[in-house]
Amino acid sequence: MEIITGYTGKPHVTSEQDRDVNIGVVGEGSYVLKTGMQLAAEVSSNNEIKIRDGVLMHQGCTASIKKNTYDSLIITNGSQGMKRVDLIVARYEKNQDNRIESLDLKVIQGTPAESNPAAPQYTKGDIQSGDYVADMPMYQVIIDGLNITEVKKMFKVIGSNKDLSEKLEFQMLLNTDAQQIYTMYGGRVKVVSGTMIVNIAMNIGYAKLFSVEQLKNWFGDDHATSRLSIKTYNGDDVAQEVNFYAPEIWNGEIFQYFYPANREGPMRVNYRLEYVYG
């Protein structure tokens, strides 16, 4: 075991260790962080694209463009009547002789074609496995004739831990032995669970669990049953010896079907309704 974030009396933290920590926290992919202008591309002319400030993490390796500045990239002139796709990448490189590492923006020029030009190939690489080159695709630059007509973003912007906490936010609205109501993911998902007793009649084989009005009260007047998932099971085999089929929705109401049907009296149903909002 070797300490990383601690003073040992001599330089000891390696870039590989630092990348491993980042991969463990953020993930092993390549992302732009949610800071600054998030490395936004700005077409300055048909020969120049400016990449604004921000921070990226490429396989655990971080690099940045300072705030309120930009990196300028030169795009080679297009040809009249031809189309081309150039690729802007963030390229990690390690010098094979002195082991010095770098991460810079590069333009990989595509091959002109009269129609349907292909994007150029790039070097995927695996930094932690020791590859000397590893590209992170950033933008496709679409060139038609002499003009840059489009710059397509290819990277994913990853949120902060605060963003994740807000997305996963849990709020308990009701919590009793009979019923629990709560929301998750910042209110995007609502769950109603609990237990109830319904009375069943002989040789009917089903019982209504929830009315349209109950569902509206829980999930809103404009709720769509296609966004609702339901789970039930027989919560008390002493009260009623039956087996459950899957619950069904009919005319906006929820019914529980069971067998055998030659039973009557109280029947306990444990349930869980989950609704995903649009």
The predicted-structure confidence for 199-251, as pLDDT tens digits, reads as follows 999 999 999 999 999 999 999 999 999 999 999 999 887 778 899 999 999 99
Mean pLDDT (the chain, rounded): 94
Q: Which pLDDT tens digit goes with each residue over 167-195?
A: 778 899 999 999 999 999 889 999 999 99
The domains found in the chain, sorted by start residue, are 15-158 (2.60.520.10), 161-276 (2.60.40)
SS (H, E, C) the chain: CCCCCCCCCCCCCCHHHHHHHHHHHHCCCEEEECCCCCCCEEEEECCEEEEEEEEEEECCEEEEEEEEEEEEEECCCCCCCCEEEEEEEEEEEECCCCCCEEEEEEEECCCCECCCCCCCCCCCCCHHHCCCEEEEEEEEEEEECCEEEEEEECCEEECCHHHHHHHCCCEEEEECCCEEEEEEHHHCEEEEEEEEEEEECCCCCEEEEECHHHHHHHHCCCCCHHHEEEEEEECCCCCCCCEECCCEEECCEEEEEEECCCCCEEEEEEEEEEEECC
pLDDT band for 5, please (50, 70, 90 cuts). Answer: confident
Pairing of β 48-58 and β 30-33? antiparallel
Q: Of 6-10, 47-51, 104-108, 223-227, give the lowest mean pLDDT range.
A: 6-10
As given in the structure block, the two tokens for residue 122 are 């790039």
Q: What is the pLDDT of residue 120?
A: 97
Predicted pLDDT at 13: 87
Burial class (CB in 10 A: 0-12, 13-18, 19+), 32: buried
Contact 240, 268 (CB under 8 A): yes
Check residue 109 and give its pLDDT: 98
pLDDT over 70, % of the chain: 100
Residue 49 pLDDT class (50, 70, 90 cuts): very high
pTM (two decimals) = 0.66
Q: Which of the four pLDDT bands, split at 50, 70 and 90, describes residue 166? A: confident
Contact present, 94 and 134 (Cβ < 8 Å): no
Q: What are the pLDDT digits (tens) for 107-139?
A: 999 999 999 999 999 999 999 999 999 999 999
